[in-house]
Structure 1
Amino acid sequence: MSNVEGKILRIYDKSKPEDEDLYETSHVNHWAWGLAVLLLGVVFWLCVALVNAENQRYAMMTNKCPDPVFAGSIDKQCLVTVRSRDHWWEHLGYAITHVSPEGPPKPPVVRRH
């Protein structure tokens, strides 16, 4: 091998990929991102369930699904398909901001002198 060939081989020898680090992977980020995606899916599922529950609650409160046969009853088939508000985000916003149920009105406080 000549001196010129040796110089060329040394130049190209530095450009070879390192085989030691070629197959090294880390699973730490996969677990974190997997857990984040799973929790995001659970939050989405809970929001959908909350919107459906608030839709039916508001429909029953405003009497949007009365039973045509029995007075004072609720048509359960109507509750499945009713749209009691215009948009789903109105149900979600109301349900998130009103956590405790609304009770009967409290009597006024009478103070005696």
Structure 2
Amino acid sequence: MTNDVERDILKIYEGSRPKEEELFETSRVNHVAWSLVAIFAMATIWLSIALVNAENQRHALATNKCPDLVFKSGFDKACLVTVDSRDHWWEHLWFGVMNVRPAPHNVGK
């Protein structure tokens, strides 16, 4: 009889026992995927900044915004670092992304 009473009491408190498979905290976030997203986002930003700088210098050379004062066929390297050849940085980015191939030159004419 006491065995039945003890069994009934244990059944009552069975729900309050911790489940052993849930004792250790597990994360449901995929850290590898989010790390890759962060790395690719930072690489995209870094490459965009590099493209904007390269296109700014290319456009400055193409429009002759930095002529060398001593040698007329040369260009000023210090000017290329600080020149703003277009009004906004996104114009450089847009032109650099949309124009992947260089413009054809009329070499034979």
**Any idea what the Cα deviations from partners look like across 1:22-72, whole Å, max 9, x if unmatched?**
423247600100011001111111010000000000000000000112111
Q: Report the equivalent of 1:78.
A: 79
Distance in 2 (alpha carbons) for counterparts of 1:24 and 1:53: 49
Letter in 2 for 1:42: A
After TM superposition, the structure 1 = structure 2 runs for residues 48-87 of structure 1, keeping only pairs within 5 Å, are 48-87=49-88
Give the alignment's TM-score, normalised by structure 1: 0.74
Give the alignment's TM-score, normalised by structure 2: 0.76
State the identity as a percent: 52
| Root-mean-square deviation (Å) | 2.7
Q: Report the equivalent of 1:103.
A: 104
Unaligned ranges ≥5, structure 1? 1-6, 108-113
Q: Does 1:45 align with 2:46?
A: yes
Letter in 2 for 1:90: E
Relative distance call for 1:82 and 1:15 in structure 2 (3 A) is farther
3-state SS of 2:30 partner: helix
Distance in 2 (alpha carbons) for counterparts of 1:16 and 1:66: 81
Distance in 1 (alpha carbons) for counterparts of 2:78 and 2:51: 19
Structure with greater proportional helix content:
2
**Any idea what the Cα deviations from partners look like across 1:84-112, whole Å, max 9, x if unmatched?**
000010001001111100121488xxxxx
Unaligned ranges ≥5, structure 2? 1-8
Following TM superposition, the consecutive aligned residue runs of length 4 or more in structure 1 with deviations greater than 3 angstroms are 13-20
